[in-house]
Amino acid sequence: MKPTDKTVVSPAAGTIVKIFNTNHAFCLETEKGAEIVVHMGIDTVALNGQGFKRLVEEGAEVTAGQPVLELDLDFLNANARSMISPVVCSNIDDFSGLVIKADGHVVAGQTPLYEIKSK
């Protein structure tokens, strides 16, 4: 995905288990045990946190669509290598797979990206 809005929301309900100290990425564990990593941009760790603001803390219980990070898109678009942002399931081998739901333009908090299938 490539953000066009300053607010990054949780892709699913669960617990924020990690927010990197540079605030460029976070990890979420869902109730079913899926570990979702949201990484804003490519090589954005090199910006040392500039352009990112944390809105929740590690350990927070979040709902799907709840704001987690705020972006300074002007700064990030000018300084990041790319703002293409992967949203991946890091433990997909614990599940039977996933079904892609999104195609083209998505709306944060409204458009499902994918569905993770239980074994």
Cβ burial of 78 (10 Å; 0-12, 13-18, 19+) is: exposed
In whole angstroms, what is the distance from residue 28 CA to residue 102 CA? 19
Catalytic annotation, pick one of 7, 39, 95, 114: 39
- Name the pairing type of β-strands 35-39 and 97-100: unpaired
Q: 51, 75 in Cβ contact below 8 A? A: yes
The length of the chain, given as a count of residues: 119
Residue 39 designated active-site: yes
CA end-to-end distance (rounded Å), the chain: 27
61-64-7-58 Cα dihedral, nearest 10 degrees: 20
Return the active site residues: 39
